Amino acid sequence: MDLHLPCEDSSVNDVVPIWNPSVVANAERQRLQGKDGSKVTTVVANPCQGPDRPLEVSYTDTMVIGNGSFGVVYQAKLCDTGEMVAIKKVLQDKRFKNRELQIMKRLDHCNIVKLKFFFYSSGDKKDEVYLNLVLEYIPDTVYKVARHYSKLRQTIPINYIKLYMYQLFRSLAYIHSLGICHRDIKPQNLLLNPETGVLKLCDFGSAKTLIKGEPNVSYICSRYYRAPELIFGAIDYTTKIDVWSAGCVLAELMLGQPIFPGDSGVDQLVEIIKVLGTPTREQIREMNPNYTEFKFPQIKSHPWSKASFIKVFRMRTPAEAVELVSVLLEYTPSLRVSPLQACAHAFFDELRDPLHRLPNGRSLPPLFNFTQLELSAAGSLKSALIPKHLKDSVGSGNEASAASGGPSTPENINPDSPSHPSSSTTSRQPSNEIV
């Protein structure tokens, strides 16, 4: 097999070039001793929303909970409230404005991790500056939960898969309505509260506001979840790469293992072809018009039918689940369903049942508290998205206030939710850098 794929280059600095002469006006940190002898760190931080007035924030009980090429993530406790937070610390280039921060300041959604504060700190080396994002702390991830079941040689119960995937699609619908592409959807970036069943999308370190005609790097997204157009080297892709990744996550949760494992771009493509068949020339042109190598193995795909989906999925996998995967994992990006179309899919009908509960007996978290921004993109899908019992209770024209299947209380009704904070308008400077 002779496949020629673009080189994988992950060396691109994914930040927004903009002149910023000083980002460390409040970099100094004071270390004090708490009453119980614990170390307390006090910083001058900026709030994510509201008036841009720096304020002192003190935290303690700091410990490392994650690290990687991006930096380090700490868990800490706010001294004033006792609330647990996660602090993501990343090295900052003073010549650039951090794209992750600019995007996080725009976001306000129940299925997206909330940025509370941010501050800058100095490093050990001269002129070394770190950006610290203070985020709400959520204890689990879909990845950890899936691993737990895998060790038991089980898959996550289908009710939980429905709940988690529905909330993922809601988060994608929201960020895509703002023109933002996450570019790294995977189980590790899906935070979970195991008690309430609430899922929140995190890690916007690879996210970008996509602008038509503006090139983007193709080597983005974790390999098992990379859309085929990225493997073919496309630089003018759309938010549909997130939809493909979400389809991979759904398939993985049902299978108990990644659907397209691969150690390289070629391996990845072979795994995709095994399931979807060899892409046609037209499909390849739709993925990347500039790709000219057409030497592919001719492999027949598994037909997505009730009679033969056992070749990919387990015998008892619901037909609606397989059908949803089939419209998410399309070669042609434009043929993949939108996140809101996915939310309206029959696979999630059970969540719209007012009597449905979590397997632990608890009520479902708010699932239908759509903001006007979300519904403005829904069009004719509104009637399918909001359950009949909620439409009847809130009346015509108030669909945005429909919330969970539980009682209509102030906590789960959201008629006046802001679409996003006023800080969503950020300045952009022209750049020759492709990110």
Strands (E), 146-185: 180-181
CA-based nearest residue to 242, from 199, 197, 190: 190
Contact partners, residue 125, CB within 8 Å, separation at least 6: none
Is residue 275 classed as helix, strand or coil in its secondary structure? helix
CA–CA distance, 171 with 381 (Å, rounded to integer): 16
Nearest-5° angle of CA 380, CA 381, CA 387?
125
CA–CA distance, 286 with 323 (Å, rounded to integer): 22
Residue 346: CB atoms within 10 Å: 13
Contact partners, residue 204, CB within 8 Å, separation at least 6: 100, 103, 104, 107, 182
- Catalytic, out of 14, 184, 203, 242: 184
Strands (E), 101-213: 115-122, 129-136, 140-141, 180-181, 190-192, 199-201, 208-209
184 flagged as catalytic: yes
DSSP states of 332-372 as a string?
SGGGSPPHHHHHTSGGGGGGG-TT-B-TTSPBPPP-----H
Q: Does 89 show up as a binding residue in the annotation?
A: yes
Q: Are 346 and 320 in contact (CB under 8 A)?
A: yes
DSSP state of 423: G
DSSP states of 68-81 as a string?
ETTEEEEEEEETTT
| CA 134 to the chain's CA centroid | 18
CA separation, residue 134 to residues 47, 87, 182, 371 (Å): 9, 5, 19, 25
8 φψ region: left (φ > 0), alpha (ψ -120 to 50), beta (else): beta
Q: Are 138 and 113 in contact (CB under 8 A)?
A: yes
What residues form the annotated binding site? 89
What residues form the annotated binding site for ATP? 89
Return the active site residues. 184
